[in-house]
Structure 1
Amino acid sequence: MRNSNWRERFQNFMEGRYGQDELSHFLLVVTLIVIIINFFTHSAFLGIVAGLLLVWVYVRMLSKDTARRAEENRRYLDVKDRVVSFFKGFGSRSGHDSSAQADFRIYRCPKCGQKIRIPKGHGMVEITCPKCRTRFRKRT
């Protein structure tokens, strides 16, 4: 009985408040990292930074200005998407989409070592190297 009373009180308290979002989760992870670093360095500055980050997280979560918090989260997600897409470009040197890479196999010419991209799913194929014209057979 007491548990449900506590739960109802908490729900009533949080009603109309912003709560958690991805920015809050990110800030909590950053706070945890700063606390761990501070554990080893014993820096007063890092302790203050960790405390301020934690206060910021709670202010955001308990805020009733949901429109402003949602806008902050949207800006964070925009920056996160730009950063993630920037680093995804380093994954493939040719600039192709990684899902498109799954549709091809890459073979090396046994004579000159030239890389040759062949579509998957065609069974046994005869490949002609565009560089040295050597022919070889491979399964796709």
Structure 2
Amino acid sequence: MLEFFNNLRIRYSEFMVGRYGMDKLNWAILVAAIVVHVIYRILGFFFIRVISWILIILLIVRFISRDHGSRTKENIWWEGKSKEITAAIASADRSWRDRKTTLYFNCEGCKTKLSVPRGKGKVRIVCPNCGQEMFKNT
């Protein structure tokens, strides 16, 4: 029995030579497929199951692909988008935690997010990025 598993491992290793394998986008697709499948199990709608299977097929195709260039471009695109989403969530979390002590404004010139202490009355705000001057009530 041990010999069978050793042969299986060797054959799998030989099959995967030159294949793309797993990356962050594949992990995200896998998690999305699992979440969609759980939603299908709860709601029971057939089209949700179809979406789950499409995600699994996409995962397998990316996993066994030999086109490293295209898969790498897709992964770089995904990492950029996931960083944007993570940064937006972190910014919203920080704004929520500091809501009692800090007010946030967007610069009228360059749309940079500026923070000002709360409760100081009318203050002059100068954007450090573009130099735009604003007067706001805190």
Bin of the TM-score, shorter chain as denominator length: 0.5 to 0.7
Matches within 5 A, 1:1-140: 1-93=3-95, 94=102
Q: Secondary structure at the match of 2:93?
A: coil
Which protein is bigger by CA-based radius of gyration? 1
Q: 1: distance between equivalents of 2:17 and 2:68?
A: 11
Q: Which amino acid aligns with 2:17?
A: E
Which segments of structure 1 move beyond 4 Å, counting only runs of 4 or more? Answer: none
Q: Which amino acid aligns with 1:9?
A: R
Q: 1: distance between equivalents of 2:41 and 2:89?
A: 31
For each residue in 1:64-95, what CA deviation from the matched residue of structure 2 results, as whole angstroms up to 9, or x when unmatched? 00111111011000000011111111233357
Q: 1: distance between equivalents of 2:94 and 2:21?
A: 38
Q: Which amino acid aligns with 1:83?
A: I
Gaps of 5+ in 1: 96-113, 115-140
Gaps of 5+ in 2: 96-101, 105-118, 120-138
Normalising by the residue count of structure 2, what TM-score does the alignment of the two structures yield? 0.65
Corresponding pairs, count: 97
Q: 2: distance between equivalents of 1:80 and 1:48?
A: 25
Q: 2: distance between equivalents of 1:91 and 1:37?
A: 27
